[in-house]
Amino acid sequence: MGRKPNTKAKVRKVLDTLEERYGRARFVSRFDPVDELVSCILSQHTADANSFPAFTRLRATFPEWQQVVDAGPERVADVVRKAGLANQKARSIINALKEVHRRVGGYSLEPLRAMEMRDARDWLMSLPGVGPKTASIVLCFSFGMAAIPVDTHVFRVSKRLGFVPEGADEKKAHDLLLEVVEPEDAFRYHTTLIQHGRKTCRAQRPLCDECPVRRMCVWLREQRRGEE
């Protein structure tokens, strides 16, 4: 517990330094919350280049969510085939939509806006096919809540900088990061670390000599100590 204030200061310093390199992303709500939810389910275990066209085709084929439910999993799977795991994702989408309708009385997630973030995240994670990353993306990008979606880049950079301890997985990291990232920094943490992970702190052959936060990197320090 005693390290958290220092860690929070380090997080803020890392963000400020990285934004000098990459700039600060401006928050813009991408989709209606239900659209975001379905889009995120489609994006699981595939690249955006596959999932976004599949989502666009789904919405063009079925303009109303009730039409998706009525179409059934086989027809929906045909429409979103390019997103991969189409049969599984079609079932998840339909079952999630049915559950939203059952709870809310329509295809809307607006009741979440009045909830505390963690309660809203738990609500979403109780839907079929929704884990912490999908739930956090919906809350972060559609509601502007202080949820931190942890993808492979955010997870890798967070571990290397020492914000997530060894032994923790991506699911656990969603809670651990909330303890060291200020709520108002949640969106910038997610977007900035993704950029850093893609461009510099890569999984293979990271560009450590070009990294603006290398002096704060626990992983790099341990790598160099091992070479001595």
Q: Is 46 left (phi over 0), alpha (psi -120 to 50) or beta?
A: beta
Contact 34, 100 (CB under 8 A): yes
Q: 13, 89, 98, 133: which one is catalytic?
A: 133
d(CA 187, CA 157): 15
d(CA 158, CA 163): 5
The vertex-202 CA angle with 142 and 185, nearest 5°, equals 35
Q: Tell me the two tokens of residue 228.
A: 């001595």
| 10 is an active site residue | no
Nearest to 96 by CA among 77, 56, 69, 72: 69
d(CA 132, CA 126): 10
Catalytic machinery residues:
133
